[in-house]
Amino acid sequence: MRKLTWSLGAVLLLALATGAVLAQAPAGKNLSWAFPTTVEKNEPPVPDPDGPRHLPNSTKAYTQAQIDDLSNPPDWYPDEHGPAPTIVTSGAGDKGFACGSCHLMSGHGHPESADLSGLPADYIVQQMADFKSGDRKDPARMNAIAQATTDDDVKKAAAYFAAQKSTANVKVVEAAMVPVSYLGPGRMRFAAPGGAMEPIGNRIIELPVDLTAARTRDPHTQFIAYVPPGSIAKGEMLAKTSALPCVTCHGEGLRGGGNIPRLAGMHPVVLARELYNFQSGANSSVAGELMQTVAMPLSDEDIVDLAAYAASQTP
Protein backbone atom coordinates (compact mmCIF):
# COMPACT_ATOMS: atom_id res chain seq x y z
CA MET A 1 0.00 0.00 0.00
CA ARG A 2 1.44 3.33 -0.95
CA LYS A 3 1.57 6.18 1.49
CA LEU A 4 -0.82 8.96 0.58
CA THR A 5 0.34 12.54 0.97
CA TRP A 6 -2.95 14.34 0.49
CA SER A 7 -6.02 14.90 2.58
CA LEU A 8 -8.62 12.22 3.22
CA GLY A 9 -10.73 15.08 4.54
CA ALA A 10 -10.65 16.62 1.10
CA VAL A 11 -11.40 13.33 -0.63
CA LEU A 12 -14.52 12.65 1.39
CA LEU A 13 -15.76 16.20 1.72
CA LEU A 14 -18.69 15.48 -0.57
CA ALA A 15 -18.80 11.72 -0.27
CA LEU A 16 -22.06 11.67 1.65
CA ALA A 17 -24.19 13.60 -0.81
CA THR A 18 -27.78 12.40 -0.86
CA GLY A 19 -27.28 8.76 -1.64
CA ALA A 20 -27.05 8.55 -5.39
CA VAL A 21 -26.79 5.09 -6.89
CA LEU A 22 -25.52 5.11 -10.45
CA ALA A 23 -27.14 2.88 -13.03
CA GLN A 24 -23.87 0.99 -13.32
CA ALA A 25 -20.40 0.85 -11.83
CA PRO A 26 -17.37 2.34 -13.62
CA ALA A 27 -16.53 0.40 -16.78
CA GLY A 28 -14.18 -2.52 -16.45
CA LYS A 29 -14.75 -3.19 -12.77
CA ASN A 30 -17.03 -5.63 -10.97
CA LEU A 31 -18.36 -3.37 -8.25
CA SER A 32 -21.83 -4.79 -7.79
CA TRP A 33 -21.26 -4.72 -4.03
CA ALA A 34 -21.03 -0.91 -4.15
CA PHE A 35 -23.52 -0.23 -6.96
CA PRO A 36 -26.73 -2.18 -6.26
CA THR A 37 -28.62 -2.63 -9.53
CA THR A 38 -30.98 -5.14 -11.06
CA VAL A 39 -28.11 -6.43 -13.22
CA GLU A 40 -27.02 -8.75 -10.43
CA LYS A 41 -28.88 -12.06 -10.30
CA ASN A 42 -31.39 -11.94 -7.45
CA GLU A 43 -32.40 -14.81 -5.24
CA PRO A 44 -36.15 -15.38 -4.85
CA PRO A 45 -37.19 -12.90 -2.17
CA VAL A 46 -38.36 -14.18 1.18
CA PRO A 47 -42.18 -14.19 1.00
CA ASP A 48 -43.74 -11.27 2.82
CA PRO A 49 -46.44 -12.15 5.34
CA ASP A 50 -50.01 -11.23 4.59
CA GLY A 51 -51.80 -8.60 6.61
CA PRO A 52 -50.51 -5.63 8.62
CA ARG A 53 -46.94 -5.53 9.91
CA HIS A 54 -46.04 -4.31 13.39
CA LEU A 55 -42.86 -3.12 15.12
CA PRO A 56 -41.98 -3.04 18.83
CA ASN A 57 -43.13 0.08 20.69
CA SER A 58 -44.97 1.42 17.65
CA THR A 59 -48.71 1.95 17.48
CA LYS A 60 -48.61 1.91 13.67
CA ALA A 61 -49.52 -0.96 11.37
CA TYR A 62 -48.77 -1.20 7.63
CA THR A 63 -49.10 -3.88 4.99
CA GLN A 64 -46.01 -4.63 2.93
CA ALA A 65 -47.63 -2.91 -0.04
CA GLN A 66 -48.01 0.24 2.06
CA ILE A 67 -44.42 -0.04 3.27
CA ASP A 68 -43.20 -0.26 -0.32
CA ASP A 69 -45.22 2.77 -1.47
CA LEU A 70 -42.52 5.25 -2.48
CA SER A 71 -44.97 8.15 -2.36
CA ASN A 72 -46.22 7.42 1.15
CA PRO A 73 -43.48 5.89 3.32
CA PRO A 74 -44.25 4.35 6.70
CA ASP A 75 -43.72 6.55 9.72
CA TRP A 76 -43.30 3.96 12.46
CA TYR A 77 -42.23 6.31 15.24
CA PRO A 78 -43.66 9.81 14.61
CA ASP A 79 -42.91 10.83 18.19
CA GLU A 80 -39.19 10.51 17.49
CA HIS A 81 -39.09 13.46 15.08
CA GLY A 82 -40.71 16.84 14.58
CA PRO A 83 -43.33 17.70 11.97
CA ALA A 84 -42.21 16.47 8.55
CA PRO A 85 -42.72 18.58 5.40
CA THR A 86 -44.86 17.19 2.60
CA ILE A 87 -41.85 16.61 0.34
CA VAL A 88 -40.53 14.12 2.93
CA THR A 89 -43.85 12.34 3.45
CA SER A 90 -45.36 12.44 -0.05
CA GLY A 91 -42.79 13.62 -2.59
CA ALA A 92 -43.20 16.08 -5.44
CA GLY A 93 -46.36 15.14 -7.31
CA ASP A 94 -45.98 12.15 -9.63
CA LYS A 95 -42.35 12.84 -10.60
CA GLY A 96 -40.49 12.38 -7.35
CA PHE A 97 -40.44 9.87 -4.55
CA ALA A 98 -41.02 10.96 -0.96
CA CYS A 99 -37.65 11.61 0.68
CA GLY A 100 -38.67 9.39 3.58
CA SER A 101 -39.16 6.37 1.31
CA CYS A 102 -35.44 5.83 0.68
CA HIS A 103 -33.83 7.83 3.47
CA LEU A 104 -36.48 6.83 6.04
CA MET A 105 -38.36 9.30 8.20
CA SER A 106 -35.40 9.25 10.60
CA GLY A 107 -32.97 10.13 7.81
CA HIS A 108 -30.81 7.08 8.62
CA GLY A 109 -31.28 5.49 5.22
CA HIS A 110 -29.92 2.14 4.10
CA PRO A 111 -26.75 1.15 2.21
CA GLU A 112 -28.54 1.58 -1.12
CA SER A 113 -29.42 5.17 -0.19
CA ALA A 114 -27.60 7.23 2.43
CA ASP A 115 -27.76 8.50 5.99
CA LEU A 116 -28.82 12.17 5.95
CA SER A 117 -29.46 12.51 9.68
CA GLY A 118 -27.73 15.51 11.19
CA LEU A 119 -25.99 16.60 7.98
CA PRO A 120 -25.71 20.39 7.52
CA ALA A 121 -28.81 21.76 5.80
CA ASP A 122 -26.79 23.95 3.43
CA TYR A 123 -24.77 20.92 2.41
CA ILE A 124 -27.89 18.94 1.47
CA VAL A 125 -29.28 21.95 -0.46
CA GLN A 126 -26.08 22.15 -2.52
CA GLN A 127 -26.15 18.45 -3.36
CA MET A 128 -29.74 18.73 -4.59
CA ALA A 129 -28.76 21.73 -6.73
CA ASP A 130 -25.98 19.65 -8.27
CA PHE A 131 -28.41 16.81 -9.02
CA LYS A 132 -30.87 19.28 -10.57
CA SER A 133 -28.23 20.82 -12.84
CA GLY A 134 -26.85 17.41 -13.83
CA ASP A 135 -23.44 18.14 -12.35
CA ARG A 136 -24.10 15.09 -10.19
CA LYS A 137 -25.37 12.15 -12.20
CA ASP A 138 -27.87 9.60 -10.96
CA PRO A 139 -30.21 8.90 -13.88
CA ALA A 140 -31.88 6.10 -11.91
CA ARG A 141 -33.49 8.46 -9.41
CA MET A 142 -31.93 11.60 -7.98
CA ASN A 143 -31.65 13.67 -11.17
CA ALA A 144 -35.37 13.29 -11.90
CA ILE A 145 -36.31 13.81 -8.25
CA ALA A 146 -34.25 16.99 -8.02
CA GLN A 147 -35.79 18.32 -11.24
CA ALA A 148 -39.28 17.78 -9.81
CA THR A 149 -38.52 19.36 -6.44
CA THR A 150 -38.86 23.10 -5.87
CA ASP A 151 -36.11 25.06 -4.16
CA ASP A 152 -38.46 25.74 -1.27
CA ASP A 153 -39.18 22.04 -0.78
CA VAL A 154 -35.46 21.27 -0.94
CA LYS A 155 -34.83 23.75 1.88
CA LYS A 156 -37.64 22.28 3.96
CA ALA A 157 -36.36 18.73 3.50
CA ALA A 158 -32.79 19.78 4.25
CA ALA A 159 -33.84 21.52 7.47
CA TYR A 160 -35.85 18.45 8.50
CA PHE A 161 -33.04 15.94 8.00
CA ALA A 162 -30.46 18.26 9.54
CA ALA A 163 -32.56 18.23 12.72
CA GLN A 164 -32.61 14.43 13.01
CA LYS A 165 -30.30 12.78 15.52
CA SER A 166 -27.45 10.68 14.17
CA THR A 167 -27.11 7.24 15.73
CA ALA A 168 -24.67 4.35 15.43
CA ASN A 169 -26.60 1.79 13.38
CA VAL A 170 -23.62 0.29 11.49
CA LYS A 171 -21.12 -2.11 13.07
CA VAL A 172 -17.95 -2.58 11.03
CA VAL A 173 -16.58 -6.13 11.32
CA GLU A 174 -13.38 -7.43 9.74
CA ALA A 175 -13.83 -10.91 8.26
CA ALA A 176 -12.11 -13.07 5.66
CA MET A 177 -15.33 -14.99 4.96
CA VAL A 178 -18.78 -13.42 4.66
CA PRO A 179 -22.32 -14.68 4.05
CA VAL A 180 -23.27 -15.23 0.43
CA SER A 181 -25.67 -12.39 -0.32
CA TYR A 182 -28.14 -11.20 -2.93
CA LEU A 183 -30.06 -8.09 -3.90
CA GLY A 184 -33.66 -8.19 -2.76
CA PRO A 185 -36.56 -5.76 -3.07
CA GLY A 186 -35.60 -2.11 -3.05
CA ARG A 187 -31.99 -2.93 -4.02
CA MET A 188 -31.31 -3.99 -0.45
CA ARG A 189 -28.67 -6.67 0.12
CA PHE A 190 -29.54 -9.70 2.26
CA ALA A 191 -27.78 -12.86 3.36
CA ALA A 192 -28.82 -15.77 1.16
CA PRO A 193 -30.81 -18.58 2.79
CA GLY A 194 -28.79 -21.59 3.87
CA GLY A 195 -25.89 -19.88 5.59
CA ALA A 196 -23.31 -20.37 2.81
CA MET A 197 -20.10 -18.34 3.09
CA GLU A 198 -17.64 -16.94 0.56
CA PRO A 199 -14.33 -15.01 0.60
CA ILE A 200 -14.81 -11.28 1.04
CA GLY A 201 -12.07 -10.28 -1.38
CA ASN A 202 -11.71 -6.52 -1.72
CA ARG A 203 -15.34 -5.73 -0.99
CA ILE A 204 -17.61 -4.28 1.66
CA ILE A 205 -20.66 -6.45 2.27
CA GLU A 206 -23.26 -4.63 4.36
CA LEU A 207 -26.21 -6.66 5.62
CA PRO A 208 -29.07 -5.96 8.02
CA VAL A 209 -28.97 -7.81 11.32
CA ASP A 210 -32.69 -8.49 10.92
CA LEU A 211 -33.99 -8.99 7.37
CA THR A 212 -37.61 -8.47 8.40
CA ALA A 213 -36.82 -5.19 10.13
CA ALA A 214 -35.05 -3.92 7.04
CA ARG A 215 -37.94 -4.92 4.77
CA THR A 216 -40.38 -3.02 6.99
CA ARG A 217 -38.18 0.11 6.74
CA ASP A 218 -37.69 0.10 10.50
CA PRO A 219 -35.59 3.20 11.30
CA HIS A 220 -33.99 1.29 14.18
CA THR A 221 -32.56 -1.38 11.85
CA GLN A 222 -28.97 -2.30 12.64
CA PHE A 223 -26.42 -3.28 9.98
CA ILE A 224 -23.18 -5.23 9.94
CA ALA A 225 -20.63 -4.02 7.42
CA TYR A 226 -18.11 -6.77 6.71
CA VAL A 227 -14.73 -5.46 5.55
CA PRO A 228 -11.42 -7.21 4.72
CA PRO A 229 -9.11 -8.08 7.64
CA GLY A 230 -6.79 -5.20 8.51
CA SER A 231 -8.71 -2.62 6.50
CA ILE A 232 -9.68 -0.42 9.47
CA ALA A 233 -6.07 -0.02 10.62
CA LYS A 234 -4.87 0.59 7.06
CA GLY A 235 -7.58 3.17 6.57
CA GLU A 236 -6.60 4.91 9.80
CA MET A 237 -2.97 4.98 8.67
CA LEU A 238 -3.95 6.57 5.37
CA ALA A 239 -6.07 9.13 7.16
CA LYS A 240 -3.46 10.08 9.74
CA THR A 241 -0.44 10.15 7.42
CA SER A 242 -2.01 12.53 4.93
CA ALA A 243 -0.63 16.03 4.60
CA LEU A 244 -3.85 17.45 6.04
CA PRO A 245 -5.39 15.14 8.67
CA CYS A 246 -9.09 14.37 8.31
CA VAL A 247 -9.97 16.11 11.56
CA THR A 248 -8.87 19.42 10.06
CA CYS A 249 -11.98 19.43 7.87
CA HIS A 250 -14.31 16.89 9.42
CA GLY A 251 -13.62 17.58 13.08
CA GLU A 252 -12.61 15.38 15.97
CA GLY A 253 -13.69 11.80 15.40
CA LEU A 254 -14.78 12.69 11.85
CA ARG A 255 -18.08 13.98 13.23
CA GLY A 256 -18.18 17.04 11.00
CA GLY A 257 -18.68 20.66 11.91
CA GLY A 258 -20.08 23.86 10.41
CA ASN A 259 -20.96 23.10 6.79
CA ILE A 260 -18.70 20.02 6.68
CA PRO A 261 -20.51 16.65 6.88
CA ARG A 262 -19.65 13.91 9.27
CA LEU A 263 -18.05 10.73 8.01
CA ALA A 264 -18.22 8.79 11.26
CA GLY A 265 -20.75 5.99 11.37
CA MET A 266 -21.89 6.39 7.77
CA HIS A 267 -22.72 3.36 5.63
CA PRO A 268 -19.27 2.42 4.27
CA VAL A 269 -20.79 1.16 1.02
CA VAL A 270 -22.08 4.69 0.40
CA LEU A 271 -18.68 6.23 1.15
CA ALA A 272 -16.94 3.82 -1.22
CA ARG A 273 -19.53 4.39 -3.94
CA GLU A 274 -19.08 8.15 -3.84
CA LEU A 275 -15.30 7.86 -4.08
CA TYR A 276 -15.77 5.80 -7.23
CA ASN A 277 -18.19 8.46 -8.49
CA PHE A 278 -15.46 11.07 -8.07
CA GLN A 279 -13.03 8.91 -10.03
CA SER A 280 -15.48 8.28 -12.87
CA GLY A 281 -16.54 11.91 -13.16
CA ALA A 282 -20.13 11.15 -12.19
CA ASN A 283 -19.84 14.13 -9.86
CA SER A 284 -18.67 17.05 -11.99
CA SER A 285 -19.83 19.84 -9.69
CA VAL A 286 -17.34 22.54 -8.75
CA ALA A 287 -16.40 20.70 -5.59
CA GLY A 288 -16.63 17.33 -7.38
CA GLU A 289 -14.04 18.39 -9.95
CA LEU A 290 -11.67 19.29 -7.14
CA MET A 291 -12.32 15.95 -5.48
CA GLN A 292 -11.78 14.05 -8.72
CA THR A 293 -8.18 15.17 -8.85
CA VAL A 294 -7.66 14.06 -5.27
CA ALA A 295 -9.54 10.76 -5.63
CA MET A 296 -7.92 9.56 -8.85
CA PRO A 297 -4.77 8.16 -7.15
CA LEU A 298 -6.87 5.93 -4.87
CA SER A 299 -6.62 2.22 -5.52
CA ASP A 300 -9.61 -0.07 -5.03
CA GLU A 301 -8.00 -1.26 -1.81
CA ASP A 302 -7.50 2.31 -0.60
CA ILE A 303 -11.19 3.07 -1.15
CA VAL A 304 -12.31 0.06 0.86
CA ASP A 305 -9.84 0.81 3.66
CA LEU A 306 -10.78 4.48 3.97
CA ALA A 307 -14.52 3.74 3.93
CA ALA A 308 -14.08 1.01 6.56
CA TYR A 309 -12.15 3.30 8.88
CA ALA A 310 -14.52 6.26 8.58
CA ALA A 311 -17.59 4.07 9.09
CA SER A 312 -16.06 2.46 12.18
CA GLN A 313 -15.95 5.77 14.04
CA THR A 314 -18.73 6.77 16.44
CA PRO A 315 -21.06 9.46 15.03
Whether residues 146 and 286 share a domain: the answer is no
- Asked whether the beta carbons of 181 and 192 are under 8 A apart, the reply is yes
Task: Give the span between the Cα atoms of 12 and 9, in whole angstroms.
Answer: 5
pLDDT at 26: 64
pLDDT at 170: 96
Burial label, 183 (beta-carbon count in 10 A; 0-12, 13-18, 19+): buried
Whether residues 173 and 266 share a domain: the answer is yes
Whether residues 72 and 194 share a domain: the answer is no
pLDDT at 293: 75
Task: Residue 83: count other Cβ atoms within 10 Å of its Cβ.
Answer: 8
Pairing of strands 170-174, 223-227: parallel
Residue 241: give its domain's CATH number: 1.10.760.10
Whether residues 142 and 239 share a domain: the answer is no
pLDDT at 258: 79
pLDDT at 32: 87
226 assigned to some structural domain: yes
Total domains, the chain: 2
197 assigned to some structural domain: yes
Instruction: Among 135, 162, 189, give the residue marking a domain's end.
Output: 162
47 assigned to some structural domain: no
pLDDT at 94: 58
Whether residues 129 and 88 share a domain: the answer is yes
Whether residues 266 and 182 share a domain: the answer is yes
258 assigned to some structural domain: yes
Range of the domain at 19: 8-39+167-312
Per-10-residue mean pLDDT for the chain, 315 residues long? 39 41 59 79 65 94 93 96 95 78 94 92 94 90 91 97 94 97 85 93 96 92 97 89 67 80 92 89 80 81 94 94
- Of 6, 81, 34, nearest to 73 by C-alpha is 81
